[in-house]
Amino acid sequence: MANVLVISESMDFESAQAYLESFVNYEAQVKPILNEVNFDLERVRVFLRRFGIDYSAIKFVHVAGSKGKGSVCDLIGRYLWEARGACVGAGSVVGAGKVEGAGAEPAGGEGSTLEPSGVGIFTSPHILSVKERFWANGGLISDANFARIVGEVKSFIDGWEGGGAGTRTGDDGEDGSESGCDSGDYLPVLTYFELLLVVALKYFVDLGVEYAVLEVGLGGRLDATNIVEPKLCVLTTVEKEHTEILGNTLEEIMGEKLGIVKVGVPLVVGYQSEEGDEIVSRVLKEKKDVYFMHDGLFGAKEQNMKMAFNALRILLGNVDKEVFGQVCEGRGLLGRGELREIEGKMVLFDMAHTVNSAKALRELVKVALVSNRQVTGQLEEEGSPKRLKFLIGMLKGKKLREFLAVIKKLDNEIDKVVFTNAHNVRGIEASEIDNVWKELGGEKSSVNTNSLLAFGTLHKSLKKDQVLVVTGSHFLIGDILSSL
């Protein structure tokens, strides 16, 4: 095996971004083929091994699911950071959700005290900046650290003595790599997401973090994050999504998500449909350390908090309720139920894109905006009832008709709906969305394929008693927020 002395190439943040974006990015493709060639975990392991990144000492929490993954990762990671060194008091499972088998030995080690240590979080996708994917020790990665690590990656690849890296994976799914190749002088070529994971692991190892929370990018079984041996796995709510990639049935999709399950590693199963619970119970009938949460008769935000709390309890043994409450009050993820005042007018950004997340959004606007209450941070205050305008763009492979049917139940509060293109490759044509809306009996709609122009027009037309809701895709929200 060739040895490479890595001397970081001098890069700035923009050039580091551009370098990573030169690699194949399945996030920007309509229908990447999910197979062991395009998503080769051994390829990632070999690259990390040859790059010299030893992440074996990190205690990982691995989170998969369809909705709530990012929020649950954020809550778990921020709690681990805020509670470091604190004596964890006796806790109990939050609210109505039941964790079967609670009281098990903590998965993260003996005792209930978190020693001072570093904590990292790796999530996806990002809304405005790729830096959103890398959180550690209380904040996002800096421009300088991101550029430094990417520079080291580039120098390593360029300087590989075995003749350089293999052929880059093409859009048709064919490449020049050998699955599981770990001999000779071959250096696997990674995809955009895989390289982001490399950056995250390098960053966390450099910082010496004790815990790292990883969010699955796609599916679970073949996702690059599945190379780690976690202390705890979490499965948030699973829905029929990415059907063109993961499978047409909930059984197939759940099978991909459950691919993160490891022997001897506890699994916390978040709120599922009746069919989802049945599938998990049947597939994992021999696994003893599975903790189900039931009774999901509350909002998505509350479900995410209860999932995170119970995951932490399984990981640590006990959870300091006061610290956890402070974490919940102080957090807020970009583009997730985020209410902004823009030039004196109110806009709600929510990247809902599944049926259940659409239901959560509908309840949010009904309770917090329409029913005489306005969201102010984490509080609800009495105020004037609001009328609604919607800007919606969605990606192919989503349950478009079912999503729109949920939003349509707000008919009496909606003054206008504009459909736009969320992404030039993966987006559903705005006219197609509008056609489905009208087939459902929806009214007051129009089409504007330019998302920024559509937003500007809607925002300008807002009256004092109206709120603009932007939803359907993180691409749409990212484009708009980056233009403000």
Average confidence (pLDDT) over 361-370: 74
Burial (0-12, 13-18, 19+ Cβ within 10 Å), 243: middle
pLDDT surpasses 50 at 414: yes
Q: Which one of 330, 355, 372 terminates a domain? A: 330
Same domain assignment for residues 155 and 34:
yes
Q: Which CATH number goes with the domain that contains 411?
A: 3.90.190.20
pLDDT surpasses 80 at 172: no
Instruction: Tell me which residue range forms the domain holding 89.
Output: 13-330
Same domain assignment for residues 32 and 174:
yes
Chain segment 64-123, per-residue pLDDT in tens: 998 889 889 999 999 999 887 543 333 333 333 334 434 444 565 544 344 547 999 999
Same domain assignment for residues 214 and 246:
yes
State the SS3 of the chain.
CCCCCCCCCCCCHHHHHHHHHCCCCHHHCCCCCCCCCCCCHHHHHHHHHHHCCCCCCCEEEEEECCCCHHHHHHHHHHHHHHCCCCECCCCCCCCCCCCCCCCCCCCCCCCCECCCCEEEEECCCCCCCHHHHEEECCEECCHHHHHHHHHHHHHHHHCCCCCCECCCCCCCCCCCCCCCCCCCCCECCCCHHHHHHHHHHHHHHHHCEEEEEEECCCCCCCCHHHHCCCCEEEECCCCCCCHHHHCCCHHHHHHHHHHHCCCCCCEEECCCCHHHHHHHHHHCCCCCCEEECCCCCCCHHHHHHHHHHHHHHHHHCCCCHHHHHHHHHHCCCCCCCEEEEECCEEEEEECCCCHHHHHHHHHHHHHHHHCCEEEECCEEEECCCCEEEEEECCECCCCHHHHHHHHHCCHHHEEEEEECCCCCCCECCHHHHHHHHHHCCCCCEEECCCHHHHHHHHHHHCCCCEEEEEECCHHHHHHHHHHC
Average confidence (pLDDT) over 342-364: 85
Same domain assignment for residues 124 and 157:
yes
Question: Which of 44-48, 154-158, 184-188, 205-209 is predicted with the least confidence, judged by mean pLDDT?
Answer: 184-188
Residue labelled with tokens 């800007």: 391
Chain segment 253-279, per-residue pLDDT in tens: 999 999 999 999 999 999 898 899 999
Whether residue 288 contacts residue 266, with contact meaning beta carbons closer than 8 Å, is answered with no
* pLDDT for res 44: 95
Q: 4 pLDDT band (50/70/90 cuts)?
A: very low
Q: Which CATH number goes with the domain that contains 240?
A: 3.40.1190.10
Q: 9 pLDDT band (50/70/90 cuts)?
A: low
What is the pTM assigned to this prediction? 0.70
* pLDDT for res 42: 93
What is the CA 15 to chain-centroid distance, rounded? 25
Q: 240 pLDDT band (50/70/90 cuts)?
A: confident
Average confidence (pLDDT) over 342-348: 87
Q: Which one of 312, 330, 348 terminates a domain? A: 330
5 within domain boundaries: no
Q: Which one of 330, 351, 371 terminates a domain? A: 330
Domain count, the chain: 2
Average pLDDT, the chain: 81
174 within domain boundaries: yes
* pLDDT for res 375: 43
Same domain assignment for residues 206 and 324:
yes
